[in-house]
A and B are shown apart, each in its own frame.
Chain A
Amino acid sequence: MEQLMELCKMEGVSGFEFEVGNAVKGIFEKYCDFVEADTVGNVIGVIGRGRRRKVMIEAHLDEIGLMVQKIDEKGFVRFCEIGGINPATLPGAEVYIHGRERIFGVIGAKPPHLQTKEESTKNYKIEKMYIDTGFSADMLCDKIAVGDWITFVSKPSLLQNNRICAKSIDNRMGISCLIECMKRLKDTKTDFETVFLASVQEEVGCRGAKVGAYKIEPDFAIVVDVTHAETPYTESTDTVFPLGSGAAIAVGPSLNTALTQCIINTAKKREIPYKTEVCAANSGTDAWAIETTKKGIPCALISAPLKYMHTQVETVCLDDVKAVCDVICGAIEEGIHC
């Protein structure tokens, strides 16, 4: 839990993962035999180098965020999004702008009492909102510039029933699983060279995973990410899972059937709670990119259900995170015979 909370406090929007990448590299070094960062910023850790078969466990490092688009004459900052953001969550949100200094700001919009009745029934559009940093334009331009990246401020909170509420659980949850698997596998005798890939730029198109998988060229890959959890207004026919229902193991045309079945068998055998997630097309995860790398890499996708995805209050259940780790380590310990 503490590990996940620490990871969520780290800051790294797609394309700007250097700080979180460095920190994660430091953690990988504690448990791996060999660690490197590649040219795009992916962090790669290896346990059991040279063993007969190679499995890659992958999760993305980056988080959604914003970018400075314009600083107006009064010092208000206009911004655009990096990754998918729901503008309805922005008014009143707090942010850090990462420039020459890290600058705090509040997202504002036209005050409600000055709006027409029609305006006030609509959500604010992203281009109508701005960040108030409390600095004049002159002072601010010494500290930040157009193109600087912006993260949300959200102190992780522990809710009831082992649930954590924070920014960027998508996908620091995945990174925390990688670290947990390292701890468990580093002294376990397996057939595998296990390679851990913490990839960049997933939220803008699964870019880091593509070059990372090319370099590592594993026999197969297990991708760890988040999936939508059940909340009010979702229906039983939606592919959503209640928090606490275990790991969501994806099936569908873009995922390797034999590998997936092997993982499901491990879950059944070890009585690890899981649900089957149906992905009829693009899973929207790095698995989509990895599967078609080089001569093709068989992929499985295991997710933890997440509420309020891409907001400052993403919520995950630690029991589900544990189930994800259990099923991955279990499958590797059993040798993945597929």
Chain B
Amino acid sequence: MLKILSEAFGVSGAEDEVREIIKNEMLSLCDNVETDSMGNLICLKKGTKGYCNTIMLTAHMDEVGFIISGVTKEGYLRFKTVGGIDPRVLSAKKVIIGKNKTVGCIGDKPPHLEGKKKDKAASVKDLYIDIGAKDDDDALKYISIGDFACFDSEYKEFGDILIKGKALDDRIGCFILLDLAKNRYPHDVYFVFTVQEEIGCRGAGVATYSVKPDIAIVVEATTCSDVPETDEAGFSTKLRGGGAISILDRSSYSAPDLRNVLYKAAVSNGIKVQYKQTTFGGNDAGAIHLTETGIKTAVISVPCRYIHSPSCVASIGDINSVYDILDNFLKGEVNEAWSF
């Protein structure tokens, strides 16, 4: 399932394919499944106890990618990035464009013609996509201006049980929610799959307004910089260190009591857990926790190396850790997190 989710096309604003995959699964698992006007998928699984409080879990369906902005006379495609992508990962990578899934590769200034300037990183406006078109008219037979494109990258398991693929941010979160929805918990649980996170957390606020949960937990993939050329202070998270619970980032503070309950759910059950140790990044919690009169929100993430690249890397152990922490939390009948 994670392979299917990772390889599915779902750049921000074009999440349809991902939503259809998730919806098909959720229809048989949940009591009510709805798609709102923005494209968020909202699924309710009723609790066993008839409590009036509700828990919302969210994961975003969209991924970073590209939008085709023009075609040159020679038939090359100009593009802009959708979401944050370092242009230095783009040269010589393959992409998939539009509904026809046209394959192209990203070209750069040829190094042998660059001379001394070759150390300077390319910017997106220097780059172009080559689909093999002969000229502009030919190119427009296969693609249209405004088509979205994503990385072409196969999902793969490798190493000491790691996975590699595009869009692990945040198909991993979607995958964990899908798995959790197989269980029934004491409280009503809303499983919400949001759109447009990568361009400013736009879907989550709208979905939260509809759901009006008592508490919310964002399930994410986050930076993991435990790699060479980096100081330990900048690691943010460690691969294989377990689910990473956020204290704060650029978009929100996690509610201290809620994150403490999550941390305790891990420790008391012997599940690996860590705190995210930098404040970089932001996520749907930024929009969720300021919805209406404010929602108590926490964030738990799977560490992800080379995030926002065609080759994101995560650990299966960490995915299981996040699942187990949330499963234990949701099993709690009268939760400490309610007492505020």
Can you list, as one digit per residue, whether each of A50-70 has a CB less than 8 Å from chain B (1) or not (0)? Answer: 000000000000000000000
Distance of A8 from chain B, by nearest CB (Å): 14
Beta-carbon contact of A232 and B121 below 8 Å? no
Q: Which of B106-114, B186-194, B326-334 forms part of the interface with chain A?
A: B106-114
A163's nearest neighbour on chain B, judged by CB, is B132
Beta-carbon contact of A313 and B158 below 8 Å? no
Distance of B100 from chain A, by nearest CB (Å): 11
Q: Hey, which chain B residues are within 8 Å of A154, CB to CB?
A: 94
Beta-carbon contact of A108 and B105 below 8 Å? no
Can you list, as one digit per residue, whether each of B228-253 has a CB less than 8 Å from chain A (1) or not (0)? Answer: 11110010000000000000000000
Beta-carbon contact of A92 and B309 below 8 Å? yes
Q: Which of A122-130, A201-209, A269-277, A328-336 forms part of the interface with chain B?
A: A122-130
Given A104-B156, A122-B119, verify A158-B103 contact (CB < 8 Å): yes
Q: Hey, which chain B residues are within 8 Å of A132, CB to CB?
A: 159, 227, 305-306, 313
A-B pair number, CB within 8 angstroms:
171
Beta-carbon contact of A122 and B91 below 8 Å? no
Q: Hey, which chain B residues are within 8 Å of A311, CB to CB?
A: 91-92
Beta-carbon contact of A88 and B122 below 8 Å? yes
Q: Hey, which chain B residues are within 8 Å of A313, CB to CB?
A: 92-94, 105-106
Given A108-B306, A228-B110, A232-B107, verify A89-B91 contact (CB < 8 Å): yes
Total interface residues on B, CB under 8 Å, equals 60
Beta-carbon contact of A113 and B223 below 8 Å? yes
Q: Which of A35-43, A133-141, A176-184, A288-296 forms part of the interface with chain B?
A: A133-141
Beta-carbon contact of B107 and A134 below 8 Å? no
Besides the contacts A108-B228, A111-B225, A243-B132, what 20 more A-B pairs have beta carbons closer than 8 Å?
A: A91-B88, A104-B156, A106-B164, A106-B313, A121-B120, A121-B121, A123-B88, A124-B88, A134-B159, A134-B160, A154-B94, A159-B132, A160-B133, A165-B132, A232-B76, A234-B110, A234-B113, A244-B134, A313-B105, A315-B132
List 18 A-B residue pairs with CB atoms under 8 Å apart, sorted by A's residue number.
Answer: A74-B228, A76-B227, A88-B108, A94-B164, A103-B158, A104-B159, A110-B227, A130-B228, A132-B306, A133-B158, A157-B152, A159-B105, A160-B138, A161-B132, A231-B107, A308-B130, A313-B93, A315-B130
Chain B residues with CB under 8 Å of chain A are: 72, 74, 76, 86, 88-89, 91-94, 102-113, 118-122, 128, 130-134, 138, 142, 152, 154, 156, 158-162, 164, 223, 225, 227-231, 234, 280-281, 305-306, 309-311, 313
